[in-house]
Chains A and B, each alone.
Chain A
């Protein structure tokens, strides 16, 4: 399923717990362009709910979540909204 997703930025946050999982994902997202896709690699189960919920709250599109090992998940998020304040 994730074969058709073109990944622009990969962020490995294994070892990180909430809220830093989202904080680091958000900082990575801020540096990306609209339409680009961020792949977040995490081993923190609560992040599977927290990151998608917070990303959607900020207007970003969660494409899919994939389990890649017993304790490893990948969350794919597309940047749909620019938050830069002027």
Chain B
């Protein structure tokens, strides 16, 4: 493609890399990535994807910005309080890079709308904050054969895994069912160090960019764990589970269902 003068300058540090070059930058500009959640993780992933020139970024979030978000959700700011997070993220990312089109979805992801949204994208990023959504995203990605960069954060800890349906494990290969509602505390209850989703989100963004470019080795079949208090990373090999209810040899989950969204705060 012919880059504009601005694009040559903006993406020069990518173009210099032998693994990226002008060809790779063109792939990024043509890529379509959807972020579930514009919170602690999604904010960061979207920021780096927008900076990298990922051409189309979908942002699914039905929440509005609150002041308690600003300790970690860097896509938003004080002026956006009360605004939909998806709209706030769109403004932030498009102000950073006008090459990028951000499509906001101000709705909650459900078994009914998830496939219609995901089918328009090449890669899905999980930045959700609850187990029902995490499992719904995993199940939809396996059914649609979409690569998924899954992650979670909690207090000082984080984890990342990249899922390529049909090639390596899915999230259910690891944990076949979500924990019962209320058993695991959420960030609202347990707290989160604001910089931790920054680290994990940046790793997710790197996984997305590598997947678009087809370079390096993604976190396929391995779960990366961070303990920020020790600042230690561990990588655990996760094989595909042949008995996986979803992607195993004899799957029993064949359709999407909305799991119980009960929050332990309300129970």
Contacts and interface: CB of A to CB of B under 8 A. Distances in A.
Bound together = yes
B15 interface: yes
Given A20-B8, A20-B12, A26 B214 contact: no
A85 B22 contact: no
A11 to B, nearest CB: 13
Contacts of B18: 57-58, 83
B192 to A, nearest CB: 37
B22 A20 contact: no
Contacts of B214: 85-86
A27 B135 CA distance: 43
A24 B22 CA distance: 10
Contact of A23 (B12, B27, B213): B12
Nearest to B15: A23
B8 A27 contact: yes
Contacts of B16: 19, 22-23, 26, 54
Interface in A39-64: 54, 57-58
A26 B9 contact: no
Interface in A58-78: 58
A30 interface: yes
Given A19-B16, A26-B15, A84 B9 contact: no
Interface string B1-30: 001000011001001101101111001000
A23 B23 contact: no
B67 interface: no
B27 A27 contact: no
Given A22-B16, A26-B16, A27-B15, A83 B21 contact: yes
B216 to A, nearest CB: 11
Given A19-B16, A85-B214, A24 B24 contact: no
B213 A30 contact: no
A84 B23 contact: yes
A21 to B, nearest CB: 11
A9 B45 CA distance: 40
A51 to B, nearest CB: 12
B9 A85 contact: no
B215 interface: yes
A20 B9 CA distance: 8
A81 to B, nearest CB: 10
A69 to B, nearest CB: 26
Contacts of B22: 26-27, 30
Contacts of B215: 85
Nearest to A22: B16
3 nearest A-B residue pairs (beta carbon): A23-B12, A27-B22, A30-B22
Interface of B: 3, 8-9, 12, 15-16, 18-19, 21-24, 27, 213-215
Given A26-B16, A54-B16, 20 more contacts: A19-B12, A20-B9, A23-B8, A23-B12, A23-B15, A23-B16, A24-B8, A26-B15, A26-B21, A26-B22, A27-B15, A57-B18, A58-B18, A83-B21, A83-B23, A85-B19, A85-B21, A85-B24, A85-B213, A86-B214
15 contacts: A19-B12, A19-B16, A20-B8, A20-B12, A22-B16, A23-B12, A23-B16, A27-B8, A27-B22, A54-B16, A57-B18, A58-B18, A85-B19, A85-B21, A86-B214
